[in-house]
Chain A
Amino acid sequence: MSPTIQILLLKGAFFAYLLATTLSLIQTRRPSLRLQRITLLFFIGAFTLHTACLLGRWIVAGYLPVTNLFSTQFFFSWTLAATYLYFELRYRIQASGLFVIFLTLLLLASALPRDPAIPPLIPALDTPLFTLHIIFSFAGYALFAMAFSLGVLYLIQERLQTVLLPNLSELRKMNEEAIFLGFALFTLCMVFGSIWAQVAWGYYFSWNIKSVWSSIVWMFYGGMCHAKFVRRWQGRGYAWLSIAGFGVVLFTYLGIGLLMASNHPLE
């Protein structure tokens, strides 16, 4: 797949997401079943273009290209879109997933001006463990972003009681699902990352700040998977925990990658 086609697919996906988002916003003012279907169609179309671009790049590179900032933004935006689509198809969340779509758009918009060239794979990253580690890591992050969005909406819905949003019970159910799925996938990310560390460095846990914070993320969401059984933490408490957890995720992904020296630089 030539870089021109990649850019075309990427721009096509971006504009289709943009259109779907605009339609979602319109729908918050004028809800209609027809508009809802058209929005979903646009979103599916955007996601198809996004997926085609990802697969094309994967085939051309011979490995999952997530080795520079453009590629990670591109792949993270794809996992976010996939997460939104999962919840949309399962629960018809519509505008409840706007935060995740905005994040997708933001990541794609910041990736578009960058060079999409695929760098040659260095031997240190030439292992399926890297691919698995990355896929589960970003899938986990995307689900935590969705949980954050649902947590915020839960608090809004609690105050506004609006028909534009799903009811509290639904929001809580979706939030719990996002947290559980995120924790499950992040566990796999940690397992494959540890095996990779063992074969690359000879030990499965490094006292690097990224590893420590990844453990913190895992422990935090592990705690959340238990907190849903404690009455005091159900509902509002869980929503606040989702928001706090995403703060920890953001620091682990962006804060450490951009501000601190680590073995997981973003650029």
Chain B
Amino acid sequence: MFTRIWSWFCSLKVAIVLASLATAIAIAGSLLMQFNPQVFAGLDNYSFLDWQRSFGHKAPLLSSWFYLTGVMVLLLAANTLCCFIDWLLRFRSRWRKTGEYLIHLGFVLVVIAYFWGSFAGDRAHLSLRTGEVQPLPTQPGYFLRLDSIAPVIGTSGRPIDLLHNISVLHGDSIISSTTLHANTPLFINDATIVASGSDQQIIGFNVILPDLGYAADLTPGAIIRLNETTDLRVNAIHSDANNAYVNLTLFIAGETVWQGWYSSQQPVAAPLRQAGFNPIIRRPLLLATSELTINHDPGLRIASIGSILLTLGVVVALFSFYAKRRRGDRPEIR
């Protein structure tokens, strides 16, 4: 009884049926995916579980093919693993098929790693300003600091790449400094950090104050002396497509006399105007930011072992294929 069940688990025909079903469902599903970008376009930005929580559960019919394919691939991996174990038990008589069975094991490991990573992994996005330190998501105790960003200029004179100089801190100490750019990620434990782009954040505004005859930078925390007794503190800034907003506090002789928002599209509040604050915005003050993608994949090491086994298996299988051909060891025609 057990032998029969085991034979069924190891069955070649079962493997072919499962592979055919997985292929057929994936063909149909891939087309659903292509024509429903509102559901599937962001798949690569999330771990599978997070995507399912955010998008997949809202479209259960459209995303059902994932589960069907997943079940087929898992069953196929189980069948492949049984075949591998069965081969291992008869290794002495079937060692010539080592290459093929390394491919089997490699496939099983990659499938396990992918499922593990999809359900236990996490993908995060981090926007890091120059000089800023932020904790590394998914890796407690680790911090990232962006030291600088520099463009790489191509022969056409256009920037073709960006060098993101990053320091990794563990606690208070810097443990490494590295440059992220195209095809050069940073690996920390089972997290892969990739520079996915860059941006510029408005951190303030450079303004001219005509009544006072000088220019000033309105950045959070800055204090601007308007006259001997009057100071203006910048609390916060905000901007949208057309407007600049600055939250200010006006002090006269150390006493708060006014606090509120200055907007570039609104008349200046009377107390500010009377104190000589009638600014003309010259330009926003920009600070480069690195857009980082952090992919925490606990299955990555297993997937790496799987890919090594696949490669090794192919090489061994190619050698043994020609050896088998020389011996005439191949299936015969009816």
Contact = CB atoms under 8 A, between A and B. Distances in A.
Interface of A: 120, 122-124, 126-127, 129, 168-169, 172-173, 176-177, 180-181, 184-185, 187-188, 190-191, 194-196, 198-209, 212-213, 215-216, 219-220, 222-223, 226-231, 233-235, 260
Given A187-B310, A202-B192, A202-B194, A122 B160 contact: yes
Chain B interface main SS type: helix
A38 B3 CA distance: 59
Given A123-B181, A223-B16, A234-B331, A208 B44 contact: yes
Contacts of A222: 19, 107
15 contacts: A181-B318, A184-B321, A188-B311, A188-B314, A198-B300, A199-B194, A200-B182, A202-B293, A203-B44, A212-B26, A212-B30, A213-B30, A223-B16, A228-B331, A229-B331
A199 B314 contact: no
B40 A207 contact: yes
Contact of B44 (A187, A201, A215, A220): A201
A180 B320 CA distance: 12
Contact of B182 (A123, A191, A212): A123
Contacts of A129: 183
B194 A207 contact: no
Interface in B24-57: 26-27, 29-30, 33-34, 40, 43-44
Q: Which of B19, B152, B193, B294 has the most CB of A within 10 A?
A: B19
Contacts, number: 127
B183 A202 contact: no
Interface in B175-202: 181-185, 192-194, 196
Contacts of A194: 303, 307
Given A123-B183, A202-B185, A230 B16 contact: yes
A264 to B, nearest CB: 14
A213 B28 CA distance: 11
Given A202-B194, A260-B34, A223 B20 contact: yes
Interface in B191-242: 192-194, 196
B12 interface: yes
Given A207-B33, A209-B30, A234-B333, A199 B183 contact: yes
Contacts of B325: 177
A226 B40 CA distance: 33
A212 B156 CA distance: 35
Given A201-B194, A216-B23, A260-B34, A235 B334 contact: yes
A200 to B, nearest CB: 5
A123 B331 contact: no
A120 to B, nearest CB: 6
Nearest to B192: A202
Given A187-B314, A202-B295, A230-B16, A180 B321 contact: yes
A124 B16 contact: no
B328 to A, nearest CB: 10
A265 to B, nearest CB: 14
B12 A229 contact: yes
Given A184-B318, A209-B33, A123 B152 contact: yes
Chain A interface main SS type: helix
A204 B121 CA distance: 13
B15 A200 contact: no
A184 B314 contact: yes
A169 B333 contact: yes
A200 B27 CA distance: 26
A260 B13 CA distance: 34
B23 A220 contact: yes
A200 B334 contact: no
A207 B334 contact: no
B330 interface: yes
B161 interface: yes
A202 B294 contact: yes
A136 to B, nearest CB: 10
A106 B332 CA distance: 36
B183 A219 contact: no
A173 B307 CA distance: 29
Contacts of A202: 123, 185, 192-194, 293-295
B307 A195 contact: yes
A216 B314 CA distance: 19
Given A173-B330, A229-B12, A235-B333, A223 B184 contact: no
Contact of B183 (A127, A185, A213): A127
Contacts of B123: 202-203
Given A212-B30, A212-B33, A223-B23, A120 B154 contact: yes
